Amino acid sequence: ETGVTQSPTHLIKTRGQQVTLRCSSQSGHNTVSWYQQALGQGPQFIFQYYREEENGRGNFPPRFSGLQFPNYSSELNVNALELDDSALYLCASSPTRSGRMVGTDTQYFGPGTRLTVL
């Protein structure tokens, strides 16, 4: 069984640029969530995708957007990068039913992408 994978591992961008991060969910998982983890902090929820549609969003501006593909993989896009966007971006997949986590579901995390904005 393949776990959650993310690419790239590290990325350096300059302020104002755009970036795309990628995530492949664990086999059999239909829901992908994205989190931003600033240095020394816990992960903060960005949004979740279920069946190719956004299914919940945290307190992040519209320049954070995403996609989910038919194979359940996902992308996180960030436009007009700001210095404060420097963080570890985590993707997590879960085998949710009806787009909502219930019962014994949990989230399985990828290794993250370290984004540095200069």
Binding site for another protein (CB under 8 A): 31, 33, 35, 40-45, 48, 50, 55-56, 58, 88, 90, 92, 96, 99-102, 106-112, 114
Report the distance separating Cα 58 and Cα 67, nearest Å: 16
Query: With respect to another protein, which residue has the nearer C-beta, 13 or 56?
Result: 56
Query: With respect to another protein, which residue has the nearer C-beta, 96 or 117?
Result: 96
Query: With respect to another protein, which residue has the nearer C-beta, 2 or 106?
Result: 106
* Nearest approach, Cβ of residue 16 and another protein (Å): 27
Query: With respect to another protein, which residue has the nearer C-beta, 49 or 117?
Result: 49
Strand partners, 78: 19, 64
Report the distance separating Cα 45 and Cα 73, nearest Å: 18
* Nearest approach, Cβ of residue 15 and another protein (Å): 24
* Contact criterion met (CB below 8 Å) for 91 and 74: yes
Name the amino acid, one letter, at 77: N
Residue 51, number of CB atoms within 10 A of its CB = 12
Residue 73, number of CB atoms within 10 A of its CB = 17
* Nearest approach, Cβ of residue 90 and another protein (Å): 7
